Amino acid sequence: MEQVNDDTLAGAGKVIAVHVNYPSRAAQRGRTPELPSYFLKPSSSLAVSGSTVERPAGCELLGYEGEIALIIGAPARHVSIADAWSHVRWVTASNDLGVYDLRYADKGSNLRSKGGDGFTPVGPGLLPADEVDPAALRIRTWHNGNLVQDDTTADLLFPFARLIADLSQLLTLEEGDIILTGTPAGASVAHPGDAVEIEVSTTAAGAGLSTGRLRTTVLEGTTAFADFGARPKTDDHQREEAYGSRAAAGLAESAETAPVLTPELKAKLESVATATLSSQLRKRGLNNVSIDGLQATRPDKRIVGLARTLRYVPNREDLFKTHGAGFNAQKRAIDSVNPGEILVMEARGEKGTGTIGDILAMRAQVRGAAAIITDGGVRDFSAVAAMDMPTYYANPHPAVLGRRHIPWDTDITIACGGTTVQPGDIIVADSDGILVIPPAVAADLVEDCIEQEKEETFILEMVSQGNSVDGLYPLNPEWRARYTDWAAGRESVQGND
């Protein structure tokens, strides 16, 4: 197998990097691009396997990102997607290193933050592009021997051929140019003394091709930045970005990032009926907070989760061509739903086509979605109904999405089943129906619900003993005094258990 050497590095006139391309990374960042976007790295940032890289003096956050690198073998200008892969000669591993401490100074160019000497190691082995399937490659990264990234190219947001064709619309990709194709989730921060290794291999059975591990060791820089240019600075936001999450960065949740639906609040909401929640919402003046007219594939299940939203607009053939194909809003929503979230779809109550089918429903279930709610139709109904994840729907329908809908946008305020749903609203559903709870009222609301259900337990017990509901339901002063004694005795018994 041929290896990356100094001639490989010298032949790279351009190094072009893609911002976000793996669904796992998009989900981690909380944003999924509709189109690919790029930045340039200087060819002087290239290095071979076994090299060292300095974390610049005064910097804290040297981020590493395992990536698959494509090396152009024949000039490409105005090439089609079908022809694009023929312009690639080699595939290898790369590490898109950068210091988050200087991101503020780049205004989006990434020149200083990602352009340092040694910030783009590539290699060691070169896989012949004509011997690999670009949709069947695996990228893995090890940090000090621990596997931290492991993903494949099977479901990229933008397949490699599309990147090449897209870039070739405006510039000539020349022989030797290198394209870094994005990193999956798991990228993090390396410190002086750490070693980062990256390997690209084939996933196709029997092929068994591998680049070997691209190894880079981090050193501490000793030359301080001069005061005539931007100097390193960072904050908790950059730490969160560099490490991938506040928890990974060792940061406590802030008021802005603290989860709205804590495990404690979720457990309490799961313990009370939607009928009780509805009555307490009404007492707060919230009457139009139910999603109406839908059926459930799993009416036996009670679900509680945060809303993610997707909006369909009526089909118009010219717009469907631009918004309906490829990695459209529907697929982006499905592929970015997080564990425990509920995907709520606005389909305008249109029953004449499907809005979700078995494949995308399965993808949502695998990603950990708590449920799907649509006020439109469901395709492949038997398969969707057999899933453990509940789906709430208007009706089964065999037609494909494009008959009546264009998937338009995600994570916006929508209308579903006669009410308004915003991203981050709390959804509670059981066999009685589906409620949308504003997060700001949820904590106080559920406490009142718990108290109401305790009262209703007492009332039901009294009615079962033969008492009239007159004065008992609702409680008059006499019955409330008896209820207070009953509740105190119950708590005393529970306290002794």
The CA distances from residue 205 to 64, 198, 208, 209, 242, in Å, are: 30, 21, 7, 10, 35
- Cβ-Cβ contacts under 8 Å for 315 (sequence gap 6 or more): 324, 402, 403, 404, 405, 406
Q: Distance between CA atoms of 77 and 131, rounded to whole angstroms?
A: 23
Query: Please, where are the H alpha helices in 89-139?
Result: 103-106, 111-114
Q: Is 35 annotated as a binding residue?
A: no
Q: Is 155 annotated as a binding residue?
A: no
Widest CA span in the chain = 94
Residue 452 has φ and ψ, to the nearest 5°, of -60, -45
Q: Is 380 annotated as a binding residue?
A: yes
Written as six digits, the tokens of 294 are 């839908």
Q: Distance between CA atoms of 159 and 440, rounded to whole angstroms?
A: 42
Q: Distance between CA atoms of 13 and 72, rounded to whole angstroms?
A: 11
Q: Distance between CA atoms of 118 and 130, rounded to whole angstroms?
A: 29
DSSP reduced 3-state for 452: helix
Q: Distance between CA atoms of 273 and 410, rounded to whole angstroms?
A: 29
Q: How many CB atoms lie within 10 A of CB 45?
A: 22
Written as six digits, the tokens of 38 are 């790029």
**How does strand 15-18 pair with strand 38-41?**
antiparallel
Q: Is 229 annotated as a binding residue?
A: no
Residue numbers belonging to the annotated binding site for Mg(2+)? 380
Residue numbers belonging to the annotated binding site for substrate? 357-360, 379
Residue numbers belonging to the annotated binding site? 357-360, 379-380
